[in-house]
């Protein structure tokens, strides 16, 4: 299957700081990328959908000013958690697809806010 | 009622056993059904993808869809310790911007040697 690389795999940051997570499609051009959050023993919850060159569409209840998503190219999307707080600690996962394929997932990023 | 319900498990079986994982759904608009495997602290990996009702086989894995009952299953034959993971069902309906995967909660499977 296609490869989606997510970086970093793990990050610890101080409360009040911002952290950026990158998601790259390595061998295909992703017209659409998705960002999910997963709490322990819970399923993946979609946060937002982004199409290259367009503003992201956020799911209900997700603060767009807190979770900034940029999809500047067909191979890169970034999620920035601004002014992070301990309750933002979670496992963040991206996925990417083209109109002709299923979504492929990155390895995930474990964020811990202390 | 949640759109997708999945047997919570956890499920523990001996090596070589046949494993049955199941999900039910309430939205009859769902047309595409997937099973993902997720190892601890990793992203989901697509295992099976089906569209129509019936069975689809890939090696030791068989995906079954019954649209009339809104029920999908994943069977694992000759289970191996390396199959130990969380299995997530997911589904969506077609149509341009309507690609939005809805996941089940996941079933944690442990295959004991």
DSSP string covering B77-111: SS--GGG-EEEEEEEE--SGGG---EE---EEEEE
CB atoms under 10 Å from CB of A86, counted, come to: 9
Nearest-Cα residue of chain B relative to residue A57: B97
- What confidence score (pLDDT) does residue A51 get? 86
Burial class (CB in 10 A: 0-12, 13-18, 19+), B59: exposed
Is A50:A64 a contact under the CB 8 Å cutoff? no
Calpha distance B25→B82 (Å, rounded):
28
Q: Which of A84-93, A98-107, B80-89 has the lowest mean pLDDT?
A: A98-107
* Total beta-carbon pairs less than 8 A apart between chain A and chain B: 44
Percent of chain A whose predicted confidence (pLDDT) is above 70: 99
Pick the residue with more confidence: A1 or B17? B17
- Which one of A43, A91, A93 has the shortest CB-CB distance to B104? A43
- What confidence score (pLDDT) does residue B19 get? 97
CB atoms under 10 Å from CB of A84, counted, come to: 22
Residue B51 has pLDDT above 70, yes or no: yes
- What confidence score (pLDDT) does residue B96 get? 54
Query: Is B106 within 8 Å of A93 when comparing Cβ atoms?
Result: no
Is B42:B49 a contact under the CB 8 Å cutoff? no
Name the CA dihedral angle for B63, B67, B71, B72, rounded to a multiple of 10 degrees: 10
pLDDT band at A98 (very low <50, low <70, confident <90, very high): confident
- What confidence score (pLDDT) does residue A48 get? 94
Q: Average of pLDDT values for A9-20?
A: 97
pLDDT band at B101 (very low <50, low <70, confident <90, very high): confident
Nearest-Cα residue of chain A relative to residue B106: A43
Q: Which of A5-9, A105-109, B63-67, B98-102 has the lowest mean pLDDT?
A: B98-102
Whether B49 and chain A come into contact, CB under 8 Å, resolves to yes
């Amino acid at each position: 299957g296609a490869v989606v690389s997510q970086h970093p795999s793990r990050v610890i940051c101080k409360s009040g700081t911002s952290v950026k997570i990158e998601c790259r499609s390595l061998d295909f051009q992703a017209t659409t990328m998705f960002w999910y959050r997963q709490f322990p023993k819970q399923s993946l919850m979609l946060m937002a959908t982004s199409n290259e060159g367009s503003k992201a569409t956020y799911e209900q209840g997700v603060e767009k000013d807190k979770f900034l998503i940029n999809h500047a190219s067909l191979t890169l999307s970034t999620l920035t958690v601004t002014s992070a707080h301990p309750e933002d600690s979670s496992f963040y996962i991206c996925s990417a697809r083209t109109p002709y394929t299923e979504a492929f997932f990155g390895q995930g990023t474990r964020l811990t806010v202390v | 009622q949640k759109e997708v319900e999945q047997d919570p498990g956890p499920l523990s079986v001996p090596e070589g056993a046949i494993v049955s994982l199941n999900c039910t759904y309430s939205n009859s608009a769902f047309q595409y059904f997937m099973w993902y495997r997720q190892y601890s602290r990793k992203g989901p990996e697509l295992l099976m993808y089906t569209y129509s009702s019936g069975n689809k086989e890939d090696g030791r894995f068989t995906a079954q869809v019954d649209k009339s009952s809104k029920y999908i299953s994943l069977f694992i034959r000759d289970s191996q310790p390396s199959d130990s993971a969380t299995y997530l069902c997911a589904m969506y309906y077609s149509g341009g911007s309507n690609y939005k995967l809805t996941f089940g909660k996941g079933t944690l499977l442990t295959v004991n040697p």
